[in-house]
Amino acid sequence: MNSYYNPVHTFQGPGSLAQLPELLQSLPKDQRRVLILAWSEGALRQPVFAGLLAENSEFEVRSLVFTASNPTVDQLFDAWKDTCEFCPHVVIGVGGGTILDVAKSLCCLYGCELNSADDLRRRIVAGDLKPAARWIGVPTTAGTGSEVTCWATIWDPERDAKRSLESKENYAWAAFVDPELAQGMPIKLAISSALDAVAHAVESYWARRTNAVSRALALEAIRTIMGQIDNLFSDQIEAHDAMARGSMLAGLAFSNTKTTACHSISYPLTMHYGIPHGAAVAMLLAPVLEMNVPVTSGMDRLLEALGAENAAGLKKRVSDLLERSGQPSTLKGWGVRRGDLTRLAALGITKGRADNNPAELKSEKIERMLNSIYE
């Protein structure tokens, strides 16, 4: 029987970020070194962070701006080098999935002796890293759910690999899911991030590791997001609130089940063609759903939550959302060469994701799916 566990203290809703300093007050007086890892200088000007960084702050606070997306082993090593002497007790990640993944990874690196990015690569592959600091997630793009999961994705383009840094002891101390931080986000990013969250929930629902709690969370996440996603086009706060809430619920759902075929197949599309993660998994939702229908119990409830009658209806809905937000809904549109599909299909079987899909995943099946979304 699959079980469920998630210890993250969650704060959710417009204005919830204001409670962060109060949480930090509970830190012992001799453990108040705080690193704020942010995606931009602008994020640091938020009143809460400006207050922490002020000279009279009762905390010893440093900041680091990390601008890359899809963080690599080399970039993580550089961020560690920049902050290892400061050796924070708490790392606050403010940004999208990249920032949160780097924040939680850094917590596992303080106190380690690392002389090079190669040293770091070896430790990640060995899988024996444990947290020496606590982290707080402040997502600014609803979608990744990274604030409530205990793993981080680190890319390793030199070795053509996607690595995962994971420890059950490295769940966040707290997550502040405040939709006010997402307002004004570019519509392409808002839509692809929301669809990424939908994929987390859908995949959690049918995953081999699914459980009753994850399934309930997943259905609620999908209803919450799909019911409001069209209102993102007019940048309504209600829509951002729904995306933030739905994305967190999806994160809680898949924190215990992980993802399946959509994510597995999407990774080489992102690594080799730069297709944004959310758009890549969104295009794969319908073909993977079609494959999983015969082996998923409760598919009627899943389709009802998605607001689609079948895989074809879902494909149309997702394609419309991508196109309306100004991004292609086919592989051809993203510049993928048809002659590359066989290779991409073979690379699409990633351990821990492909074998978590309810229907068996083979490269021939993947190639057929990639062909079905080619043009």
For Fe ion, the binding residues (CB under 5 A) are: 196
Between CA 336 and CA 330 the distance in angstroms is 9
Tokens coding 314: 């879902």
Q: How far is the CB of 275 from Fe ion (least distance, A)?
A: 13
Find how far residue 282's CA is from the centre of its chain. Answer: 14
Residue closer to Fe ion (CB basis): 74 or 196 = 196
Closest residue by beta carbon to Fe ion: 196
Residue closer to Fe ion (CB basis): 196 or 220 = 196
The end-to-end CA distance of the chain, in Å, is 41
State the DSSP H helix or E strand holding residue 60, giving kind and residue range, or none if neither.
strand 60-65
Tokens coding 247: 């994305």
Amino acid at 353: R
Q: How far is the CB of 332 from Fe ion (least distance, A)?
A: 23
Amino acid at 145: G
Q: How far is the CB of 149 from Fe ion (least distance, A)?
A: 10
Between CA 61 and CA 134 the distance in angstroms is 14
Q: How far is the CB of 199 from Fe ion (least distance, A)?
A: 6
Residue closer to Fe ion (CB basis): 34 or 349 = 349
* Helix%, strand%, coil% for the chain, nearest 5: 55, 10, 35
CA-closest candidate to residue 93, choices 19, 172, 164:
172
Q: How far is the CB of 203 from Fe ion (least distance, A)?
A: 9
Residue closer to Fe ion (CB basis): 83 or 149 = 149
Residue closer to Fe ion (CB basis): 88 or 278 = 278
Find how far residue 138's CA is from the centre of its chain. Answer: 12
Q: How far is the CB of 356 from Fe ion (least distance, A)?
A: 14
Q: How far is the CB of 97 from Fe ion (least distance, A)?
A: 7
Q: How far is the CB of 198 from Fe ion (least distance, A)?
A: 10
Residue closer to Fe ion (CB basis): 196 or 241 = 196
Between CA 108 and CA 132 the distance in angstroms is 6
**Could you tell me which residues come within 8 angstroms of residue 337 by beta carbon, excluding any fewer than 6 positions away?**
none
Q: How far is the CB of 277 from Fe ion (least distance, A)?
A: 6
Give, as one character, the DSSP assignment of residue 11: E
Residue closer to Fe ion (CB basis): 16 or 260 = 260
Tell me phi and psi for residue 60, to 5 degrees: -95, 105
Tell me the residue ranges of DSSP E strands in 250-340: none
Tokens coding 165: 């840094």
Residue closer to Fe ion (CB basis): 80 or 151 = 151
Residue closer to Fe ion (CB basis): 63 or 149 = 149
Say if CB 84 and CB 26 are below 8 A apart. no
Tokens coding 161: 């690999």
